[in-house]
Amino acid sequence: MSYQLIDLVQRLENPHILVLGDLILDRYIWGDAERVSQEAPVILLRQDKQEIRLGGASNVANMLVGLEAKATLAGVVGHDFDGTCVRQELARVGVSTELVFTDPSRPTTVKERFIGRAQQRHPHQMLRVDREVRTPLDTVLEAQFLEQILPRIPEFDAVLISDYAKGVCTPRVLAAVIQAGRAAGVPVLVDPYPGEDYSNYRGATAVTPNRLETKRATGIEIKTTEQAFAAGAKLCEMLNLEYAYVTLDSDGIAFVRADGQAEMLPTRKREVYDITGAGDMVLAMIGVGLAAGCDPMDVGRIANVAGGLEVEQIGVVTISREEILNDLLLNSRKIEGKVYHRDDLARQVAARRKVGHKVVFTNGCFDLLHIGHVTYLQQAAREGDCLIVAINSDSSVRRLNKGPDRPIFAETDRAAMLAALEAVDYVVVFDEATPNSLLEQLRPDVLVKGGTYATHEIVGRDVVESYGGVVKPLTLVEGISTTRIVQGLRGEGPVPRPHLSLVTTDGENKSIKPLLGTERKAG
């Protein structure tokens, strides 16, 4: 599955997404909590640093830009200094603010946190002060808001609604935007407010409530997978959704379609440092995936990865596609999905290069997998970050005149055996006499070969060295080859026994005598 998700990330392109919702400015006041004040029984905080961060719908738009999408934000700020800060910060990160309105009747929503350090270490939040109004937009501004937004809905690849119940997401605004999205064939995804009445989201493509929000909306407490599926199905039915993503923190995401299909999308265990921003990250990642036309279930799997990377960070930070690719690549060594068509493999290699991985390539028939193969493949894997094994097709093996009954195993079987080795990341079959065309397409960093080959004898050396790659012979297991094993099994000679010769870092050959039979030491 990891390999499919890697392909998905490679296909995301750069969609244009509208984010509609409540804009929030997060301000952090840092300082040393020195002592108790003489004026009152409160801690005295001596400020030494102040920072601002985007919150609410602003943060979702910021995360979209981090995921290489184009983001346009629709919302409201006050006619105040904080509103100016929000606009400036959005401009700095590259979010379009042409649909951000100023409302002189309300302040910009601000969450101000005071963070104190005891003895100049161990920072803890001491106090949070919120400045906001929660009244809905007045009808005049609401009409102006919709007049500007609705004609532009068809321009976008997706619409994300981030509702924090601060007054922007009025019933009229939500109904009009959702209807316009449906009419234009644009997916509308909603991260709902933590309330009980979700009726204003009726007709959206999907919603992304967390465990507690889902309980409030459906009355179903989620402690089991079945309960999560039941709650998701109820959301789909209540709101006429196409599907629901019920986010379940460390348990992953319960994905439920309107037709009743349901799947639990688990997430791997991570070190959780800060859950702030994880919901916004999941919304942004699902939005990018749906905008790109990807399968909604696979999009949920990618959102799991993105949300997991977010909780590993301290504070709200953007997560890049490269970070997601790297996480997938580092956790993708599974038998399933290792055998690739050459064009699909080229996309995988491109993903590796994006995150700075060193690609190693080797090739051969690999008929009758033996200790010689395993030894040098293990060594080959240590030459870089991933190992590609290219095997000759059945017809190619026959053209190499290996013998009338070769290959013994079909190419599908040989590929499956190699894929089962932990050292191997990818397997690809080629039909030509040499791997040269494959090398030209994949351009690996290192070409390796096991056996008795000298560097100048390795086929493909000219191709790899032409673009600056390295060619390297590896471990020799003396006396072992598939041909000799086959001859021994036919009775045409002794079945060879391995004599391992390792090439040390100083170039010296050292033999290792195998411990067989009576030669094995006790203990």
Distance CA 379, CA 376 (A): 5
Distance CA 247, CA 49 (A): 35
Report the pLDDT value the prediction gives residue 316, as an integer from 0 to 100. Answer: 64
For residue 246, CA distances in Å to 205, 266, 438 come to 14, 12, 43
What DSSP string runs through 376-397? HHHHHHTTSSEEEEEEE-HHHH
Check: CB of residue 115 under 8 Å from CB of residue 123.
yes
Q: In sequence order, which residues have a C-beta less than 8 Å from that of residue 122 and are 6 or more positions away? A: none
Q: How many residues does the chain have?
A: 523
Report the pLDDT value the prediction gives residue 485, as an integer from 0 to 100. Answer: 52
CATH 2.60.120.10 is the classification of domain 2-26+53-110+132-186+267-330: no
Q: Name residue 70's beta-bridge partners.
A: 16
339-519 belongs to which homologous superfamily? HUPs (3.40.50.620)
Nearest by Cα to 362 from 466, 473, 482, 456: 473
Per residue in 184-226, pLDDT (tens digit) is 999 999 999 988 899 999 999 999 999 999 999 999 999 999 9
Q: Where are the domains of the chain?
A: 2-26+53-110+132-186+267-330, 339-519
Catalytic residue, chosen from 280, 327, 367, 394, is 280
Nearest by Cα to 205 from 185, 227, 233: 185
Per residue in 99-152, pLDDT (tens digit) is 999 999 999 999 998 988 887 667 788 889 999 999 999 999 999 999 999 999
Note if 259 is an active site residue: no
Distance CA 132, CA 76 (A): 12
Per residue in 395-417, pLDDT (tens digit) is 888 888 766 667 888 899 999 98
Given CA atoms 55, 56, 60, 65 in this order, what sign does their dihedral have? negative
Helix (H) or strand (E) holding 26: strand 23-36
In the chain (523 residues long), the average pLDDT of successive 10-residue segments reads 76 94 93 86 87 93 95 97 96 96 95 84 84 94 96 97 95 97 97 92 96 94 94 96 92 92 81 61 94 93 86 68 82 66 86 88 86 85 93 88 75 90 92 93 93 83 94 69 52 52 43 37 34
Q: What does the buried/exposed string (b/e) look like for 369-398 if buried means 16 or more CB atoms within 10 Å of the residue's CB?
A: bbebbebbbbbbbebbbbbbbbbbbbebbe
